[in-house]
Amino acid sequence: MALLDILVYPDPRLRRKALPVECVDDEIRQLIRDMAETMYQAPGIGLAATQVNVSKRVMVIDHSDERNELQVFINPVIRSRRGETETEEGCLSVPGIVAPVKRAEEVTVTALDSEGRINEYTASGILAVCLQHELDHLDGKVFVDYLSRLKRERIRKQLLKESRNDNVAATTDRAVAL
Ligand code: NI
């Protein structure tokens, strides 16, 4: 297993639209293991392949307290959305920043698992938020895109400055690090 580097906003590679996985093979399973290790170490509760500079539609989530319920979503598609909720979100690619984002309260998602089987999930609460957040990453979208232009610009400048100064990266509370 290997720890992968997480891209930090405003890295332009976070804007790429990830490509569907054509075959769930050992290479994809290795990617999943590395992404899971990276997510647990960060620590965060979700990670999309885009964030580790792999342009494939793969994401991992574990929102359990014990950190022992890894969920894998390959080629995920949101089939339906219901309701609205606002949650304080953070992101491993936007260290140290949290902000409220409005999303659907409940989503139904289909995705392949690590054996290539298709599954359907109906999720609410933090899992629903996390699924929408990670799926955005696969489409080149970051949660700061939902904030005002002014706030986004402030965050962009702050993170650029931190990267230039080579500061120790700020971390976000795991509870909201998606
Ligand atoms: Ni994120």
Tens of pLDDT, residues 58-109: 999 999 999 999 999 999 999 999 999 999 999 999 999 999 999 999 999 9
Q: pLDDT category, 145, cuts 50, 70, 90? A: very high
Instruction: Please tell me the CATH superfamily of domain 12-146, with its number.
Output: Peptide deformylase (3.90.45.10)
| End-to-end CA separation in angstroms for the chain | 21
- Helix runs in the chain, H state only: 26-41, 125-138, 149-164
Query: Vertex 42, ends 134 and 3: CA angle to 5°?
Result: 95
Instruction: Show the beta-strand stretches assigned E in the chain.
Output: 46-48, 58-61, 71-82, 85-89, 99-103, 106-112, 118-124
> 3-state SS of the chain: helix, strand, coil percent to 5?
35, 25, 40
* Annotated catalytic residue 86: no
Report domain extents, the chain.
Answer: 12-146, 148-178
Span from the CA of 9 to the centroid of ligand 1 (angstroms):
10
Q: Catalytic pick from 37, 106, 120, 134?
A: 134
Span from the CA of 27 to the centroid of ligand 1 (angstroms):
23
Span from the CA of 96 to the centroid of ligand 1 (angstroms):
12
Q: pLDDT category, 140, cuts 50, 70, 90? A: very high
Say if pTM beats, i.e. exceeds, 0.85.
Answer: yes
Q: Is pLDDT above 90 for 3?
A: yes
Q: pLDDT category, 174, cuts 50, 70, 90? A: confident
